[in-house]
């Protein structure tokens, strides 16, 4: 069968990082093509560049780029990249008829991501540990990753050895680099580990600087407590608990939240997790911290009890997707922080829109659901004050956003 090829001109970038050409049949999406380039496309292969490369094209940092299903934008120049990422947020807001100035993209450096998930599979040549290929379920062995902290990349061989000891056809390893070492959460699918395997895992952990190994929810090895600093407190995340992927991005998000809260005396931190915002906020305000994950709330409570100089923190386990805090329950709060998962906080936003809370601070890794929730709040009487995109997910099409909304007549508090 003969493959037909088309020659097309790339006009702009799409939200997924593809180049877009306007054709008679409608928009055509071309991976790794840049505006101003002419390419030949067809079949399943990569586009062939026919024109001179765009002046915005640069050499990718990683040998796996275009093979790996993670990064989509290593070939973009800094100005093009920053504009594209900011534009994702602008477009999400535009689709909800929210016309507000979006701030410049706050960048993070390469080599700063502290959390990653690898897949491991037993194949004929041995264990393959890595990522999925672009648009495929096939794995390839990762040899480098410029996004990750070097402390993770240096332990790829050790992680591969752990996967080999775990047995089974396929496993999933989520790793978090903490100040005391690597925390490894393995999902194997119920395979039982004997004493010999546990002893081998303990030996590998000691050799590789791994402080904890948890398999299918059970802690197998714990050589030290994998704690993280949050505000003035030290938090030990329970196995598999959500933490922000990049510490520098987390610090920028915390700064935005603290600035927006200003001199608020009472703050509700909803979808609080292990306390990313709760603990810094508690240096100056009483905080109600609510989350549906009981173990995360327990870790937050333990950290608060051992910290010095914090104002009172009340913790509550509650599924805010099903049972959001009502306007009555929100009475007396000066500010509310919403930091939900990618699905957003629609139910809670509807209740908040009916409340009298002066300030709403929305944090999200999904500009689409953030814009939906912001629209609900604006329709409820809030005004968009600021929108800050943060490049927590380097070279991917994901972007973190902090959005501040305020009820008219409420002066912006000083810090």
Q: Residue 263: exposed, middle, or buried by beta-carbon count in 10 A (0-12, 13-18, 19+)?
A: exposed
Active site residue 365: yes
Minimal CA–CA distance to 337: which of 412, 392, 410, 258? 258
CA separation for the pair 362, 315 (Å, rounded): 20
DSSP secondary structure string, 131-165?
EEBTTSS-EEE----TTB-HHHHTTHHHHHHHHHH
Cα dihedral across residues 194, 197, 201, 203: positive or negative? positive
Name, in order, each residue with C-beta under 8 angstroms of 93's C-beta and a sequence gap of 6 or more. 99, 100, 102, 367, 371, 374, 387
- One of 68, 272, 365, 403 is an active-site residue; which one? 365
Minimal CA–CA distance to 257: which of 279, 236, 227, 241? 279
**Contact by Cβ (8 Å): 40, 30:** no
CA separation for the pair 217, 303 (Å, rounded): 22
**Contact by Cβ (8 Å): 198, 221:** yes
Q: Residue 151: exposed, middle, or buried by beta-carbon count in 10 A (0-12, 13-18, 19+)?
A: middle
| Cβ neighbour number for residue 132 with a 10 Å cutoff | 14
Which runs of consecutive H residues, i.e. helices, occur in 262-402? 278-281, 294-306, 346-353, 367-379
Task: Give catalytic residues, as residue numbers.
Answer: 365
């Amino acid at each position: 069968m003969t493959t037909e090829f088309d020659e097309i001109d790339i006009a702009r970038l799409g939200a997924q990082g593809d180049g877009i050409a306007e054709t008679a049949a409608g928009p055509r999406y071309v991976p790794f093509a840049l505006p101003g380039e002419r390419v030949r496309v067809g079949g399943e292969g990569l586009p062939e560049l026919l024109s001179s490369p765009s002046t915005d094209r640069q050499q990718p940092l990683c040998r796996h780029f275009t093979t790996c299903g993670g990064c989509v934008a290593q070939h973009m120049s800094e100005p093009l990249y920053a504009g594209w990422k900011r534009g994702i947020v602008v477009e999400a807001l535009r689709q909800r008829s929210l016309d507000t100035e979006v701030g410049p993209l706050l960048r993070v450096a390469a080599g700063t991501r502290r959390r990653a998930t690898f897949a491991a599979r037993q194949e004929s040549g041995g264990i393959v540990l890595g990522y999925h290929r672009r648009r495929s379920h096939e794995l390839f062995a990762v040899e480098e990753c410029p996004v990750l902290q070097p402390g993770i990349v240096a332990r790829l061989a050790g992680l591969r050895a752990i996967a080999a000891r775990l047995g089974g056809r396929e496993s999933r390893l989520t790793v978090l680099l903490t100040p005391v070492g690597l925390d490894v959460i393995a999902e194997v699918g119920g395979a039982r580990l004997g004493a010999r395997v546990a002893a081998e895992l303990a030996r590998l952990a000691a050799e590789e600087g791994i402080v904890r190994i948890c398999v299918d929810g059970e802690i197998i090895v714990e050589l030290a407590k994998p704690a993280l600093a949050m505000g003035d407190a030290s938090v030990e995340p329970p196995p598999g608990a959500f933490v922000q992927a990049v510490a520098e991005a987390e610090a920028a998000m915390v700064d935005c939240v603290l600035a927006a809260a200003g001199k608020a005396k009472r703050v509700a931190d909803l979808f609080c997790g292990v306390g990313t915002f709760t603990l810094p906020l508690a240096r100056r305000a009483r905080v109600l911290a609510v989350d549906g994950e009981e173990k995360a709330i327990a870790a937050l409570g333990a950290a608060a009890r051992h910290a010095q100089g914090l104002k009172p923190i009340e913790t509550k386990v509650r599924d805010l997707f099903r049972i959001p805090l009502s306007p009555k329950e929100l009475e007396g709060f000066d500010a509310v922080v919403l930091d939900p998962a990618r699905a957003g906080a629609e139910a809670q936003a509807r209740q908040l829109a009916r409340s009298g809370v002066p300030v709403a601070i929305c944090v999200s890794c999904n500009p689409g659901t953030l814009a939906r929730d912001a629209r609900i709040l604006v329709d409820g009487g809030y005004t968009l004050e600021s929108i800050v995109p943060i490049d927590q997910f380097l070279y991917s099409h994901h972007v973190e956003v902090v959005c501040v909304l305020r009820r008219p007549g409420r002066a912006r508090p000083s810090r």
